[in-house]
Structure 1
Amino acid sequence: MADIPLSADRPAPPPEPRRPASPAGRDPARTAVATGVSILAVLIGLLFLVWLVLFITKGRFLKPTFERIASSATERRVRVAGDFQFYFDFIDIKFLADGLTVSNPAWAPRPNFFESRHIETRVKTFPLIFGKRRAEFLVLDGGNVDAEWDKQRRNTWTFGDPNAKGAPFQWPVIDRAIVTGTTARYVDPALLLETDIKVDTVRASGTTITDNRINFSGDGTLRGKRFTMNGGILSPNSTVTFGRTKLVMHAQSGPTLLDLNGVLPAATQIEGSDLNLTVRGPNLRLLFDFLGVAVPDTRRYRFNSKLTKVGGEWRFTRLNGFFGASDLAGDMTISLPNDRLKIAANLNSRSVDIVDIGPFIGYEPNALAAKGATAAVAQTGAAPRIIPDAPLRIEQIKIFDAHVNYKVRDVKQPFVPVSNIALTFDLDHSLMKLSPLTMDIADAGHLASDISINARVPAVLTDYNIRLSPTPLNKLFRKSGVFNSGTSGTIKARIQMKGTGDTVRESLASSNGRIAIILPRGTFWTQYVQLAEFDIGLFLQKLLQDQLKKPIEVNCGLIAFTVRDGVAAADPVLIDTDKNVMTAKGGFSFKDESMNLAFRADGKKFSLFSGQSPVGINGHFAAPGYQLITPQLLARGGAALALGVVASPIGAVLAFVDPGDAKDAACGPVLSGARAGAQRTTEGEPRKDVGTGKGPDAQPAKKKKFLGIF
């Protein structure tokens, strides 16, 4: 197709519209930044304006607002009677109020929790934003604080719901303080504590305190015991200029004295403190009575330690001192987990006097020190008693828990050598455990025990479990001189009993269980064994031959008792030697501490002159008696006299002849600690000479007849 030429009068297409050109150099990102800066500048300007208004006016116009907001937040009546200031002193908050009062909850006996003539402080702003209360300084004049708990564990310083459980008091950290004419009252019915503290007037000029000491004093009662206290800050100028605070304090309750000195990080901050504590007095129990903690009586004591507070714990470290004639060192922590007092300690002693151990089982230490062992004997009617009857302080142990590790290197005493005591004591809601309690005996044996005292039940239940490993007798009794190196015999023992009662005496007097002392094979001095057997013929023979120190052989031995309701019956007493079989019947009673035992020895070989009568042990634990001339021996002596008259002197001797028909004991049941019914002769026959273990009466065995005559 041929091109159609444009007509000269045909209109041209309209031109496209042009976009307006952007201003040269404008960037959208820069615009956003500029906008942000402008807004920030406005905010800063507004804040500066607020700061300027508050700084110029000192925020006095905020007084009604402060009273309204503070009253609403605390649910208390908050009022300022005089001048009020609230503003930013540079960046920190400055607060001043004259005649400030904060009311108490309705249940409190006093109208106001806090009141003052003048209070002024500056609080660090940034720590406050993060929940930390820290003031650069505090000026308080004419202040009164009523800090009080009630029996429902509400307190006056927990704001909000007046019936809510109170929170522990936490001091705000104050770097420096000037407090004049101020008193504080603290009441805690749970601790039975009430105290009033007064801070003496201090004159100040700028940052310099013209007096060299800020004094405080106070008094009060704790668990019914009055105490006084006084002290001071010894470096007030250093304190005012943000230095560490040197503190000294003295407290006294009767004969109990306490001294405290050291450094606090800040005027009101105990956390992280470095303090030195010294306590002394005539009886450590009086000191712990302030805490309501039951400890035994002691003789005079003195202890030093470092003291600090970390979290909720009061830590006593590098503790050292003495009680009575015993030393003590270690560390201790006192805390209140779940609002319940707990004591944790690791203690050790190089040397402990036996007198100072007495109170731990119920004996009075000063009496023991003055009178010796006789002080442990109490006269009850006509019978002396030695088992302690000091009652367990049940009400005191209900209010605290404890975990104590205690080690003793050596015990000073004139009896059995004891060393390396290790004790773990636990108290958990009135359940006490001494487990384990171990010690070395005579440098060769080892005693281990587990004792629990359950005071959770109405009738306190005590469980005794005591084990003695094989111990050489010559070492065990080396201080008594009973045995010498010629004795190679050993002894081991086991005690298992349970009883009820809140004293050692009551628990033993109601106990049930078993006591077993085992003598494995060994040698002993002839002198003491033959005297116990009262074999006069053999004794005289050995004496004439100068062989009293020649050892005799013990094949095996068992001294055992079954305890029923506090009464122990021999079950059995059986000692087999190379020449005799010794047995005993009878027993003893924990109820009145009486004893009634009859020992006798039957010879395995012919003896020309033998008493052949029981040796009696009677009396009481504190005053035992021995009966060598028994009715059986007197009867035999009468028969001998009759024979001597009727027949001849030879007939008199025949009354004391022992034919030597005693049966060897099977040592298996003896060494296993079996009861009387399980004992056998070496031929396997049941033994009839060891009793039944069912009664305490010591009925001596009938005398043996010789030739069917006697």
Structure 2
Amino acid sequence: MDEATQRIEQPVDIPAPPAPRLSRRRRIARNILLGVVGTVAAVWLVLFVTKGRFLKGPFERIVGGQLGRELRVGGDFQLYFAPFRIKLYAERVTVSNPGWATRQPFFRADRIDARIAPLSLIWGRRRLYSLDLLNGAADLEYDGAHAANTWTFGSGKKGGKPFEFPRIDEATVAGTTVRYLDPKMRLLADLDIDTIRSTDARIGRAVGLHGGGMVRDTPFTVTARLLSPDATVNRGKNELVMQAHAAGNTIDVAGTLPSIADIEDVPLQVRARGGNLSTLLGIIGVTLPNTRDYRLRAQLVKQGEEYRFTRLTGVAGNTDLAGRLTITNGERLHLASEIATRSLDIIDAAPFIGFNPDIVAARGAVAAAAATGAGPARIMPDARFPVETMRQFDADVHWTVGVVKSRNVPISDIDATLDLTRGKLTLSPLTFTMARGHVASDIVFDTRPRPSAVSYDIRLAPTPLGRLLAGYGVAEAGTSGTVKGRIQLTGRGDTIHDSLSSANGRMAFILPQGTFWTRNVQLSELDLGTFVQKMFENRLKEPVQINCGLIGFTVRGGVAAADPILIDTSKNVMLGRGGFSFRTEALDLAFRADGKKFSLFSAQSPVSINGNFAKPGFSVVSPELLGRAGVGLGLALVATPVAGILAFVDVGDAKSAACGPVLAGAGAAAQRTTGGRARDDVGRGTTATAEDGRRSPDQRRSQRKRFLGIF
């Protein structure tokens, strides 16, 4: 075999082709995967064996850092895979509150036992397969400025974000309590939540809670139910119904909240009922006169610092109410209201002068006055103005009333505007219609000076007397007379009684020309002869002409003296003297009529009104009349029976009054006869007789003091 052939036949070593790069990568990936699996298995084994108790410190730091709070586990701690779900077990867990909070911690629990979906910690919403929470307690607070709360965690441009509930498939939550504090509203609530059990991520039935607390120093109790707990934990709607009891009032609230602790811009249906509406608004520091039993409903919407009650309807006592109310909880509490009433029961109006309406309805005005601290037989209330409360809030109220239900006083078309600013309460204007006459008032209670400065300015437009006095037995037919007047008084005091007891001013009521029923006028004038004559002639309804009249009083230091009382009729001049006292409520008035024409059996003797405001007395048998009867008896015995009649004869020498000063409401000194002479039968608050004119000023002054009965 030649050399060439030999070379061909010899075997040649051919190098193997290099391994594909892909296979090498697979080996690397496999090795890495095996390493990871091994590591995970090792970690799993370590955690399973140790129960992950050594992770307690890192868990506190990492989770606490995410929350921006300090987290502590005071008891046993476990964190491991069991087998593929993360098991978290912790005892005596606490999460701190921000430094401004009034109480620590924000959250605590005796035990948390949860199974967590591992991947949910990385992607998407947190998911718990199960949760067992025992004796959890949460502290929910707002800061004083309402700018921050304790359930907003972390930091950032918007100050973090509120806590979000994880998805929980199965849960048992027992012994949970919640404390809620809102310093701006002065609200503190401590609530116990019923045990919650859920399966398949559904709680199913409503979750109830109950508890109590304080709102503006008033204790309350509350029960509530969350009707949509499943939607709540899934960040959906929160249907809530609640009933609270405070100061004798029951308040029901129902609505759907965007989040469990947020009522901003949410329409809530509110109902309230109780024995006295003033106790309800008194909870938030608003002063209101007492009312009888009330029932109200409204829609409440909170917008910032405003709580707006719209579509308000209801009743208080026998009075209907409708309108709106806005309460602003700003730097100063402010109440604004528009209220309309179709029919106001006069008893329900009693609180506006300080009476308790229930006492008025049951026992009368005197008993109601006594309940305010007034003395025996007094009718003016002695209830003190709530000075300190009136300085704590402001108010603007507009109230209209269609008609007032009253047996004696026909009042309708009330229009009242109230302004309360830093302790100064102004009723201006306060207008109403009385017996077809218009009354306009401006009343001011200024509690800033001590004692309060009070002013009354009440103006009565011409009003038909027949209609005005119809409730007191005066028929309207045949009476065309009218009355107009004005009361201007200023005083000092923290009660209506005190302000009037110190009042100075003038009261004047003018009677323009008109007619009255004879039976009404002749009795008051005590012209017995004319009355008996017309009674037998069946002419009692014949009108008697009133030329002009003035019932005027000058008030000094709470004492009103007649200045003057002068009524000029076609047949008589009726004069009055005396007065009354706002201090003691004593009445001491005397009226007499002097005939312009001859009249038999005219008593020519004063008719007295005495007693007090609560129980006035009326006397027609006066000492002067008895003396006249004695003179008549003496004449009859000495002379003849005809001579005895002369003691009761009115010779008819009364001087007619010039109506100009009367209709101008002028004082006694300005009054004149039709002849232009100054009247000598009126003056200084008394009706002067010829004998009075001969008395010295000191004697007249002494007589007036005894007459008024106030010294």
Aligned partner of 1:688 among 680, 697, 701: 680
Q: Which residue of 2 aligns with 1:101?
A: 95
Equivalent residue runs for 1:411-490 within 5 Å = 411-442=404-435, 444-490=436-482
With over 3 angstroms needed to count, the CA separation of the structure-2 counterparts of 1:263 and 1:612, relative to structure 1, is: same
Aligned partner of 1:589 among 581, 590, 595: 581
How far 1:672 sits from its partner (Å)? 1.2
8 Å Cα contact 1:265/1:272 also seen in 2 = no
- Tell me how far apart the structure 2 counterparts of residues 652 and 402 of structure 1 sit (CA, whole Å): 70
Note if 1:317 corresponds to 2:310.
yes
How far 1:245 sits from its partner (Å)? 2.1
Aligned partner of 1:679 among 648, 653, 671: 671
- Tell me how far apart the structure 2 counterparts of residues 372 and 387 of structure 1 sit (CA, whole Å): 12
How far 1:654 sits from its partner (Å)? 2.3
With over 3 angstroms needed to count, the CA separation of the structure-2 counterparts of 1:67 and 1:188, relative to structure 1, is: closer
How far 1:99 sits from its partner (Å)? 4.7
With over 3 angstroms needed to count, the CA separation of the structure-2 counterparts of 1:528 and 1:430, relative to structure 1, is: same
Letter in 2 for 1:325: N
Q: Which residue of 2 aligns with 1:93?
A: none
Aligned partner of 1:564 among 556, 560, 585: 556
TM-score (norm 2): 0.76
Q: Cα deviation per residue 1:573-606 (whole Å; 9 max; x = unaligned)? A: 1111111111111100011110111111111122
Letter in 2 for 1:363: F
- Tell me how far apart the structure 1 counterparts of residues 263 and 404 of structure 2 sit (CA, whole Å): 39
Aligned partner of 1:300 among 290, 293, 296: 293
- Tell me how far apart the structure 2 counterparts of residues 335 and 137 of structure 1 sit (CA, whole Å): 42
Q: Cα deviation per residue 1:658-696 (whole Å; 9 max; x = unaligned)? A: 222211111111111111111111222111211213xxx
Aligned partner of 2:492 among 495, 500, 509: 500
Q: Cα deviation per residue 1:318-375 (whole Å; 9 max; x = unaligned)? A: 111111112111111111122x211111111111211111122111212222234564
Letter in 1 for 2:424: L
8 Å Cα contact 1:377/1:385 also seen in 2 = yes
- Tell me how far apart the structure 1 counterparts of residues 396 and 127 of structure 2 sit (CA, whole Å): 41
- Tell me how far apart the structure 2 counterparts of residues 140 and 331 of structure 1 sit (CA, whole Å): 47
Moved more, 553-562 or 327-336: 327-336
Helix, strand or coil for the counterpart of 1:212? coil
Q: Which residue of 2 aligns with 1:196?
A: 190
Structure 2 gaps, min length 5: 1-56, 80-91, 115-124, 151-158, 694-711
8 Å Cα contact 2:565/2:577 also seen in 1 = yes
Moved more, 538-547 or 662-671: 538-547
Note if 1:273 corresponds to 2:260.
no
Q: Which residue of 2 aligns with 1:183?
A: 177
8 Å Cα contact 2:203/2:229 also seen in 1 = no
Helix, strand or coil for the counterpart of 1:356? coil
Helix, strand or coil for the counterpart of 2:441? strand
With over 3 angstroms needed to count, the CA separation of the structure-2 counterparts of 1:582 and 1:136, relative to structure 1, is: farther
8 Å Cα contact 1:147/1:156 also seen in 2 = no
Letter in 2 for 1:579: K
Letter in 2 for 1:595: L
Note if 1:548 corresponds to 2:533.
no
TM-score (norm 1): 0.76
With over 3 angstroms needed to count, the CA separation of the structure-2 counterparts of 1:698 and 1:205, relative to structure 1, is: farther
Q: Which residue of 1 aligns with 2:346?
A: 354
Note if 1:659 corresponds to 2:625.
no
Letter in 2 for 1:185: R
With over 3 angstroms needed to count, the CA separation of the structure-2 counterparts of 1:265 and 1:107, relative to structure 1, is: closer
Q: Which residue of 2 aligns with 1:617?
A: 609
- Tell me how far apart the structure 2 counterparts of residues 692 and 245 of structure 1 sit (CA, whole Å): 76
Q: Which residue of 1 aligns with 2:219?
A: 226
- Tell me how far apart the structure 2 counterparts of residues 140 and 414 of structure 1 sit (CA, whole Å): 70
Helix, strand or coil for the counterpart of 1:484? coil
- Tell me how far apart the structure 2 counterparts of residues 408 and 623 of structure 1 sit (CA, whole Å): 30
8 Å Cα contact 1:483/1:524 also seen in 2 = no
Moved more, 582-591 or 237-246: 237-246
How far 1:512 sits from its partner (Å)? 1.1
With over 3 angstroms needed to count, the CA separation of the structure-2 counterparts of 1:356 and 1:173, relative to structure 1, is: farther
How far 1:254 sits from its partner (Å)? 5.8
Note if 1:336 corresponds to 2:329.
yes
- Tell me how far apart the structure 2 counterparts of residues 530 and 216 of structure 1 sit (CA, whole Å): 75
With over 3 angstroms needed to count, the CA separation of the structure-2 counterparts of 1:583 and 1:177, relative to structure 1, is: farther
Helix, strand or coil for the counterpart of 1:518? strand
Aligned partner of 1:367 among 359, 365, 378: 359
With over 3 angstroms needed to count, the CA separation of the structure-2 counterparts of 1:407 and 1:154, relative to structure 1, is: closer
- Tell me how far apart the structure 1 counterparts of residues 113 and 316 of structure 2 sit (CA, whole Å): 48
Equivalent pairs counted in the alignment come to 598
Helix, strand or coil for the counterpart of 1:448? strand
Q: Which residue of 2 aligns with 1:519?
A: 511
Q: Cα deviation per residue 1:205-257 (whole Å; 9 max; x = unaligned)? A: 67x32232122222123455432111122122334455422111111236421
Note if 1:640 corresponds to 2:611.
no
8 Å Cα contact 1:614/1:700 also seen in 2 = no
- Tell me how far apart the structure 2 counterparts of residues 301 and 592 of structure 1 sit (CA, whole Å): 35
8 Å Cα contact 1:173/1:266 also seen in 2 = no
Note if 1:258 corresponds to 2:243.
no
Aligned partner of 1:603 among 591, 595, 599: 595
8 Å Cα contact 1:176/1:267 also seen in 2 = no
How far 1:144 sits from its partner (Å)? 4.2
Aligned partner of 2:237 among 244, 247, 253: 244
Aligned partner of 1:211 among 197, 201, 204: 204
8 Å Cα contact 1:425/1:435 also seen in 2 = yes
How far 1:376 sits from its partner (Å)? 4.3
8 Å Cα contact 1:264/1:272 also seen in 2 = no
Q: Cα deviation per residue 1:150-208 (whole Å; 9 max; x = unaligned)? A: 9xx6899579xxxxxxxxx99959799989565333457887654212334434467x3
8 Å Cα contact 1:202/1:209 also seen in 2 = no
Aligned partner of 1:405 among 398, 409, 434: 398
Helix, strand or coil for the counterpart of 1:592? coil
8 Å Cα contact 1:423/1:438 also seen in 2 = yes
Helix, strand or coil for the counterpart of 1:643? helix
With over 3 angstroms needed to count, the CA separation of the structure-2 counterparts of 1:478 and 1:172, relative to structure 1, is: farther
With over 3 angstroms needed to count, the CA separation of the structure-2 counterparts of 1:193 and 1:314, relative to structure 1, is: closer
Letter in 2 for 1:615: V
With over 3 angstroms needed to count, the CA separation of the structure-2 counterparts of 1:195 and 1:408, relative to structure 1, is: same
- Tell me how far apart the structure 2 counterparts of residues 605 and 170 of structure 1 sit (CA, whole Å): 98
With over 3 angstroms needed to count, the CA separation of the structure-2 counterparts of 1:627 and 1:254, relative to structure 1, is: closer
Helix, strand or coil for the counterpart of 2:407? coil
Q: Cα deviation per residue 1:98-135 (whole Å; 9 max; x = unaligned)? A: 95633564894x44355578899xxxxxxxxxxxxxx9
Q: Which residue of 1 aligns with 2:279?
A: 286
With over 3 angstroms needed to count, the CA separation of the structure-2 counterparts of 1:376 and 1:529, relative to structure 1, is: farther
- Tell me how far apart the structure 1 counterparts of residues 347 and 466 of structure 2 sit (CA, whole Å): 25
Fraction of identical pairs, as percent: 46
Letter in 2 for 1:479: G
Structure 1 gaps, min length 5: 1-59, 72-76, 85-97, 121-134, 160-168, 705-710
With over 3 angstroms needed to count, the CA separation of the structure-2 counterparts of 1:527 and 1:701, relative to structure 1, is: farther
